[in-house]
A = this chain, B = another copy of it.
Amino acid sequence: MGPGPANVHPQVLDALSKPTLGHLDPQFIELMDEIKSLLKYTFKTESEHTFVLSGPGSLGMEACLVNLVEPGSKVIVCVAGYFANRMTQIVSKLGGHVVVVKDDWGRAVDPQKLESALKNNPDTKVVAFVHAETSTGALSNIKLLSEIAHKSGALSIADVVTSLGAVDVYVDDWQLDAVYSCSQKGLACVAGMSPVSFSERAVHFVKNRKTQVQSWFNDLILLGSYWNGPGKRAYHHTAPSNHYYGLHEALMILKDEGIENAWKRHRENSTRLISKLKSQLGLEPIVPDGERIPHLLAIKVPEGIDEAKVRSELLAKHNLEIGAGLGELAGKVWRIGLMGYNSNEKLVDFCVNSLKDVLKK
């Protein structure tokens, strides 16, 4: 019950161990088509440039940036946590010129700050931000951030690693140009895959870049030829069939539930957890109401408590893993996740009772 990986749905674990199909087997090609269609459902997009990368969410972050950032081009990154900060490192490695719009850790991105940064930097090509910042528990209004980016003629990149499948994400309606996620949080699958989606605008940009994309593995055009053709698919990498079985199963389970129902379930269990943590343990989330990720709570560690000791005791005594703080919040918070298969009443109670025992309340 940390910030992910979350526990995996048992049907997904079963699917992983089915006999391997070759990546060129007609049955496997069908499976890829189904995954694509299920991801379009999950992302709420009609874009054909929707598929899964054969690596974890950080690979997806790099893929979105490497395609949309040319050396020397200006990129605004809205930073209010660890993962947005990682984006600035990647942009710098790609030779982009980073402008940081900074907010406090534990708060949503302030859209007005982005607006004024764009006024000062009208030559900005890309604006990048994180929807649900896993390191702080804060949720930003990326619909608005994307709108502001477009008004200034920039493309938008959104990290939906912790939001996808657990809280509202509308890639087309919000006009997000590039999004990436992971498999091990809201999707209730194992870690190691990164669903991505690119808008027509993004694809047009990549096709008309002045410089080559600085990656072969993450090149959107090469990946698109593999997933979409035209005609016979062009071989790219050897797709990890067994991982894809797991993702397919996880996406089917999500579709069977209905994604709006899944969002609702995540909200309800979050409310239940917050209320019990407050009333029974006096624990409070650090993120203000209205800016909070429902399913990933950063909880303030009370004065005088050794937070690492509490986590080891929870693991040793109750077989319960919760997360530590990262970066600026290291030592100051616990991060409790109710994601995917883990978002249920039974685990809410289990978590509260285990914490009660360890904190001797």
Q: Across the interface, which residues of B come within 8 angstroms of A25, CB to CB? A: 315, 321
B58 touching A55, Cβ below 8 Å? no
CB atoms of B192 and A54 under 8 A apart: yes
Q: Which of B56, B58, B86, B217 contacts A62 (CB 8 A)?
A: B217
Which of B8, B20, B24, B184 lies in contact with A184, CB distance below 8 A? Answer: B20
**Interface presence of A214 (CB below 8 A):** yes
CB atoms of B23 and A240 under 8 A apart:
no
Q: A261 at interface (Cβ–Cβ under 8 A)?
A: no
Name the residue in A182, A191, A212 with the highest tally of chain B Cβ atoms < 10 Å from its Cβ: A191
**Complex Cα distance A321/B20, Å?**
12
- What distance in Å separates the Cβ of A347 from its nearest Cβ neighbour in chain B? 14
Does A241 make an interface contact (CB < 8 A)?
Answer: yes
Question: Quick check: is A17 within 8 A (CB to CB) of the other chain?
Answer: yes
Q: How far is the CA of A2 from the CA of B21 in the complex (A)?
A: 11
* Docked-complex contact B238 and A58, CB < 8 angstroms: yes
Query: Do A191 and B14 have beta carbons less than 8 Å apart?
Result: no
A22 to B239, CA, bound (A): 24
Contact A242 B56 (CB under 8 A): no
Q: Report which of B66, B184, B237 forms a contact with A238, defined as CB distance below 8 A.
A: B184
A54 and B240 CA atoms in complex are apart in Å by: 11
Decide yes or no: A93 and B215 within 8 Å by CB, A20-B5, A59-B55, A238-B182 being known contacts: yes
A236 at the interface (CB under 8 A from B): yes
B54 touches A217 (CB 8 A): no
> Could you tell me the distance in whole angstroms from the C-beta of A322 to the nearest C-beta in chain B?
10
Q: With A13-B19, A192-B192 given, is the CB distance from A86 to B216 under 8 Å?
A: yes
Closest to A22 in B: B321
Q: Which of A332-349 contact B (CB under 8 A)?
A: none
**A13-B17, A92-B212, A94-B214 given; A4·B238 CB < 8 A:** yes
Q: Are B237 and A56 in contact (CB under 8 A)?
A: yes
Interchain CB contact under 8 A, B321 and A235: no
Shortest CB-to-CB span from A287 to chain B, Å, is 21
The reply on A187 being an interface residue by CB < 8 A is no
Q: Is A90 located at the chain interface by the 8 A CB criterion?
A: yes
Cα–Cα, bound, A212→B71 (Å): 12
Q: Are A89 and B20 in contact (CB-based, < 8 A)?
A: no
Q: Is the CB of A19 within 8 A of B5?
A: no
Complexed CA–CA distance, A298 and B216 (Å): 27
Q: Is the CB of A19 within 8 A of B7?
A: yes
Query: Cα distance A215–B90 when bound, in Å?
Result: 7
Q: Chain B residues near A326 (CB, 8 Å)?
A: 235
Kindly provide the distance from the CB of A232 to the nearest chain B CB, expressed in whole angstroms: 11
**Is A213 an interface position by the 8 A CB rule?**
yes
Chain A residues at the B interface, C-beta cutoff of 8 Å: 2, 4-5, 7-8, 13-14, 16-20, 22-25, 54-59, 62, 66, 86, 89-90, 92-95, 182, 184, 190-192, 212-217, 219, 235-243, 246, 315, 321, 326
The 8 closest A-B pairs by CB, nearest first: A192-B240, A55-B55, A58-B237, A13-B17, A190-B242, A17-B17, A191-B240, A16-B16
